């Protein structure tokens, strides 16, 4: 196979993922052309700080959607967990980690509650979480006594607003950030290389060497450029580390673990999964517990970012998270979707919001644009899938 045919084959096989990546790059390019500030160090850092919680929610949501369920309550859970954390840290004067811990425990309990109704009583997730959306919003009001609680104080505030920098010094840019990113890139390259070697040892076809190297070089260049941008501003945001760990961890869980496989099996054909020995109820229970946990993480990040817990926090977050999954190629009927796709879908939403704010587009126009983007992205995806199916 020559290099061009090989490249075409790679793109065709991954059209579902690559299509959305192309869309993402195009959107970034449009905003970069419209406003030179868009790709500035300050703004890139801002995007990271501002939208991480949506991406965290999208990771949990994509697993729920792959299993053929939906979770409408995550916005309320973000508010509730933030509120609990505020009561612990601000009202009771306990340390920041106690607040985080309390939030996570509440998230797990919420998840177990919803998982119980979905998995063991057999109520559709849509209904259970619609009820949950009201329930946990109300509980937030109760916990907060209907008023905002703030401020959290320095260590808690730093979770979402802090940076790691200065450890190795630097001249106008932060060396530590560059080193961390470089380690990441090398790790990625090594993992790719080992995967390739392992495939070869199993006599599977792999992309040609020049293409493989070109792919690594492009990824490394983009990542290091991004790292340099961050380094010239304030360094490595703490939330980016949280997000990276979650993304890598959940990608592995969904793609490589038995549990992840079972999630896809349940979403693809519940009956067949059951008759193959998959414990469908357990799977449904644990994906909701997991969603509760991730919603709590998002709750901590969001309350930290706002430096306050507000009764109305997290409103409509569920829709952003769900939109991120569908833009990222998840299927409404379950069984299809990837963590990576949901992350890119979330980034598309984030970049559009940020880009429009930067250009001073009025807040009444912003939801219109986001709605259209959701529609067009999914239409684009369906078009690509049909083409891919025809090429097969």
Partner 1 sequence: MSTILEMRSIVKEFPGVKALDGVDLDVTRGEIHAICGENGAGKSTLMKVLSGVYPHGTYDGEIVYDGETAEFGSITDSERRGIVIIHQELALVPYLSVAENIFLGNEQRGRTGLIDWNRVNTEAARLMARVGLDENPVTPVNQLGVGKQQLIEIAKALSKEVRLLILDEPTAALNDTDSEHLLDLLRHLKGQGITSIIISHKLNEIEEIADRTTVIRDGSTIETIDMRDAGSGAVQDRIIRGMVGRDLEHRFPERTSVVGDEVLRVEDWTVYHPTQVGRKVIENASFNVRAGEVVGIAGLMGAGRTELAMSIFGRSYGRSISGRLYKDGKEIQARTVAEAIDHHIAYATEDRKTYGLNLIEDIRWNVSSAGLGKLAPRGWVNDNEEIRVAQEYRSSLNIKAPDVLSTVGKLSGGNQQKVVLSKWLYTDPDVLIVDEPTRGIDVGAKYEIYTIINKMVAAGKAVVVISSELPELLGICDRVYTLAFGRITGELPVAEATQERLMELMTLERDQPLPTKENVS
**List of residues contacting partner 1 (CB under 8 A):** 198-199, 201-202, 204, 252, 256-259, 261, 264-265, 268-269, 271-279, 331, 335-336, 390-392
Query: Closest separation between CB of residue 12 and partner 1, Å?
Result: 11
Non-local (6+) Cβ contacts of 220 within 8 A are 185, 188, 189
The nearer residue to partner 1, 48 or 263, going by C-beta atoms, is 263
CB nearer partner 1, residue 66 or residue 308: 66
Nearest distance, CB of residue 323 and partner 1, angstroms: 22
Residue 364: phi and psi, rounded to 5, are -80, -25
Q: Is the CB of 165 or the CB of 254 nearer to partner 1? A: 254
Contact 338, 120 (CB under 8 A): no
Could you give the CA distance from residue 313 to residue 300 in angstroms, rounded to a whole number? 12
The least CB distance from residue 121 to partner 1, in Å, is 17
CA distance 48 to 361: 20
In the complex, minimum distance from the CB of residue 254 to partner 1, in angstroms, rounded to a whole number:
11
Nearest CA-CA partner of 314 in 43, 9, 103: 103
With respect to partner 1, which residue has the nearer C-beta, 33 or 389?
389
Q: Taking the complex as a whole, how short is the minimal distance between the CB of residue 220 and partner 1, in angstroms?
A: 25
DSSP letter at 237 equals: E
> How far is residue 144 from each of residues 76, 81, 138, 309, measured CA to CA in Å?
13, 11, 10, 8
Long-range contacts, stretch 332-335, CB < 8 angstroms, 24+ apart: 332/65, 333/68, 334/65, 334/66, 334/67, 334/68, 334/69, 334/266, 334/267, 334/268, 335/66, 335/68, 335/264, 335/267, 335/268, 335/269
CA 248/CA 242 separation, integer angstroms: 10
Specify the residue, 108 or 388, whose C-beta has the smaller distance to partner 1: 388
Which CB sits closer to partner 1, 30 or 388? 388
Shortest distance (Å) from residue 343 CB to partner 1: 21
Closest distance of CB 255 from partner 1, Å:
8
Give the separation between CA 267 and CA 265, rounded to whole angstroms.
5
For partner 1, give the closer residue by CB, 218 or 272: 272
């Amino acid at each position: 196979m020559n290099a061009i045919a090989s490249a075409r084959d790679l793109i065709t096989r991954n059209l579902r993922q690559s299509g959305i990546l192309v869309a993402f790059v195009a959107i970034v390019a449009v905003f970069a052309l419209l406003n030179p500030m868009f790709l500035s160090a300050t703004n890139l850092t801002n995007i990271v700080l501002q939208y991480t919680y949506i991406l965290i929610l999208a990771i949990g949501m994509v697993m729920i959607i792959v299993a053929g369920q939906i979770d409408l309550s995550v916005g309320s859970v973000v508010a509730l967990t933030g509120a609990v954390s505020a009561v612990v840290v601000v009202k009771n004067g306990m340390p920041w980690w106690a607040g985080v811990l309390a939030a996570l425990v509440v998230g797990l309990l919420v998840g177990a509650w919803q998982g119980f109704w979905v998995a063991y009583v057999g109520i559709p997730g849509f209904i259970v979480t619609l009820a949950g959306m009201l329930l946990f919003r109300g509980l937030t009001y109760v916990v907060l006594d209907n008023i905002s609680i703030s401020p959290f104080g320095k260590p808690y505030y730093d979770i979402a607003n802090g940076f790691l920098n200065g450890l190795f010094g630097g001249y106008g840019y932060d060396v530590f950030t560059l080193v961390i990113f470089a380690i990441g890139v090398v790790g990625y390259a090594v993992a790719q290389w080992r995967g390739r070697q392992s495939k070869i040892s199993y006599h599977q076809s792999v992309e040609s060497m020049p293409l493989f190297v070109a792919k690594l070089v492009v990824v490394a260049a983009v990542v290091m450029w991004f790292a340099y941008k961050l380094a010239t501003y304030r360094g490595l945001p703490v939330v980016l580390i949280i997000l990276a760990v979650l993304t890598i961890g959940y990608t592995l869980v969904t793609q490589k673990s038995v549990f992840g496989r079972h999630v896809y099996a349940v979403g693809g054909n519940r009956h067949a999964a059951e008759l193959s020995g998959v414990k469908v109820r357990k799977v449904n229970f644990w994906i909701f517990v997991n969603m509760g946990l991730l919603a709590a993480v998002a709750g901590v990040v969001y309350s930290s970012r706002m430096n306050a817990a507000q009764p109305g926090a997290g409103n409509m977050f569920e829709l952003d998270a769900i939109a991120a999954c569908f833009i990222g190629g998840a299927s409404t009927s379950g069984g299809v979707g990837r963590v990576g796709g949901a992350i890119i879908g979330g980034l598309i939403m984030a970049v559009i919001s940020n880009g429009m704010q930067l250009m001073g587009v009025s807040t009444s126009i912003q939801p219109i644009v986001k709605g259209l983007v959701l529609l067009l992205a999914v239409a684009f995806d369906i078009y690509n899938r049909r083409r891919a199916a025809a090429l097969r």
